Each structure stands twice: as C-alpha cells, then as structure tokens.
Amino acid sequence: MREIDLDALRFEIRGARYQRGIRCIYNDRHKGTVREILDCNVRVSGSYEASADEQPRLVEVETIEILKQPEKQMDLL
C-alpha cells in the first residue's frame, strides 16, 4: 500500500496482480489501522465496483489485514 488520503478517507492498493491500482474507501472505524498500513502488503475485503474489463476499481472497505510489514530501514544519520 503506497498512497493514503487521510482527509478523503481513501487509499490505493498497487501490486502485480492487477495492471492498475485499486482505490479503496474506508470509514472512521478504520482510521487507526490505515495509519499503520503505509508500505505494508495488505488484503482488504468489502463490496466493490468493477471496470469494463471486470477488474475491481473501487472497494468499499469492510476489513483490512496486514500481510507483511515493511522492511526496517537503517537511519542514515
């Protein structure tokens, strides 16, 4: 997960499985979790809208699961 808009309550998932990103909208109960998922591999579930090629394009998030935490980076200073 690489992009979060905290004001608009949405984020975008990108990955090898889909050719383009999938926009996700969430509600207030996910605010704490969303702050933790930047740079993580995640799985979301919920209802979605599909594009003309039947690929998910927008998900209304019901659950968020962190699959993998980001690699720890060393401080440069």
* pTM of structure: 0.79
What is the per-residue pLDDT for 30? Answer: 94
What is the per-residue pLDDT for 49? Answer: 94
Q: How would you classify the pairing of strands 41-50 and 22-25? A: unpaired
- Structural domain harbouring 17: 3-68
Per-residue pLDDT of the chain (77 residues; tens, 9 = 90+): 778 999 999 999 987 666 678 999 999 999 999 989 988 899 999 999 998 888 888 999 999 999 998 887 667 66
Residue 58: inside a domain, yes or no? Answer: yes
Q: How would you classify the pairing of strands 22-25 and 56-68? A: parallel
Residue 37: inside a domain, yes or no? Answer: yes
Residue 75: inside a domain, yes or no? Answer: no
Residue 7: inside a domain, yes or no? Answer: yes
The residues near 41 (Cβ < 8 Å, ≥ 6 apart) are 1, 15, 66, 67, 68
Total tally of structural domains belonging to the chain: 1
What is the per-residue pLDDT for 45? Answer: 94
What is the per-residue pLDDT for 74? Answer: 67
**Dist. CA 46–CA 67, nearest whole Å:** 17
* Structural tokens at position 52: 């003309």
What is the per-residue pLDDT for 47? Answer: 96
Residue 12: inside a domain, yes or no? Answer: yes
